[in-house]
Amino acid sequence: MSEIKEPAVALIELRSIARGIKTADDMVKKAPIRLMEARTVCPGKYIIVVTGEVGSVEEAYKAGLETGKEMVVDDLLLPNAHEQLIPAMEACVEVDKIVSLGILETFSVASVIRSADSAVKTANVTLIELRMANGLGGKSFFTMTGELNEVEAAMEAGVSLIEEEGAMLCHEIIPNPHNDINLKLL
């Protein structure tokens, strides 16, 4: 796929696996998008994540909401997503060294995506990974690194965005993590 000029991300989470698969099919048939994720997550839900040009993602997102209807439990449309977001979601970010480590954990996939996007748009940090409810009992988290003051600013932005909606589970900052921790994360 060619480089996305205006990256957008959309997510639809459904309580029905059957409706989730149908919704994903309708979304990819509606507009030229990339189906990044379409899978079951704990506890018995189905998530669909698509990326692409803003207009196409919006069109597919609307079609997905229409198909999903009453089975939709959460959704997200994020036009102009930060360029680091998609690589972190794909766990393909290479980081040489973790200076300070920020970890933010949420109760939902949509909230972790919004939080990570806000964090990386606020401060000079590098997203390492964004895990979406895969083997996590429905929870999600992201990790980031940078200078301590930058990680603190990014964390504040990420937490404040989702704290009011009740999706925040926990967040931690580790200045200068031990090398054994770095080896597990890199």
| Same domain, residue pair 94 and 167 | yes
Task: Supply the pLDDT for residue 184.
Answer: 79
110-127 b/e (C-beta count within 10 Å ≥ 16 → b):
bbbbbbbbbbbbbbebbb
* CATH number of the structural domain spanning residue 117: 3.30.70.1710
| Helix (H) / strand (E) containing 32 | none
| Helix (H) / strand (E) containing 93 | none
| Same domain, residue pair 73 and 89 | no
- 2 belongs to a structural domain: no
Q: Given the structure tokens 């030229």, which residue do they identify? A: 32
| Same domain, residue pair 89 and 181 | yes
pLDDT at 6 over 90: no
| Same domain, residue pair 92 and 165 | yes
| Helix (H) / strand (E) containing 99 | none
The secondary structure of 124-163 as a DSSP string is: S-EEEEEEESTTTTT-EEEEEEE-HHHHHHHHHHHHHHHH
In whole angstroms, give the CA distance from residue 170 to residue 145.
17
**Are 181 and 127 spatial neighbours (Cβ–Cβ below 8 Å)?**
no
Instruction: Please say which residue of 63, 79, 95 terminates a domain.
Output: 79
| Same domain, residue pair 72 and 97 | no
| Same domain, residue pair 93 and 173 | yes
Task: Supply the pLDDT for residue 43.
Answer: 82
In whole angstroms, give the CA distance from residue 186 to residue 181.
9
Q: How many residues does the chain have?
A: 186
| Same domain, residue pair 95 and 181 | yes
| Same domain, residue pair 108 and 155 | yes
Pairing of strands 34-41, 45-53: antiparallel
Per-residue pLDDT tens for 31-66?
Answer: 999 999 999 988 889 999 999 999 999 999 999 999
Instruction: Please say which residue of 40, 55, 79 terminates a domain.
Output: 79
Domain span at 94: 85-185
Beta-carbon contacts of residue 60 (< 8 Å; ≥ 6 apart): 10, 27, 28, 30, 31, 33, 50, 52
**Are 101 and 151 spatial neighbours (Cβ–Cβ below 8 Å)?**
yes
| Same domain, residue pair 65 and 100 | no
User: What total of structural domains would you count in the chain?
Assistant: 2
Average pLDDT over residues 71-80: 94
| Same domain, residue pair 43 and 104 | no
- 49 belongs to a structural domain: yes
Per-residue pLDDT tens for 153-186?
Answer: 999 999 998 988 888 899 999 999 988 888 777 6
In whole angstroms, give the CA distance from residue 51 to residue 19.
20
- 1 belongs to a structural domain: no
Task: Supply the pLDDT for residue 5.
Answer: 55
Instruction: Please say which residue of 36, 58, 79 terminates a domain.
Output: 79
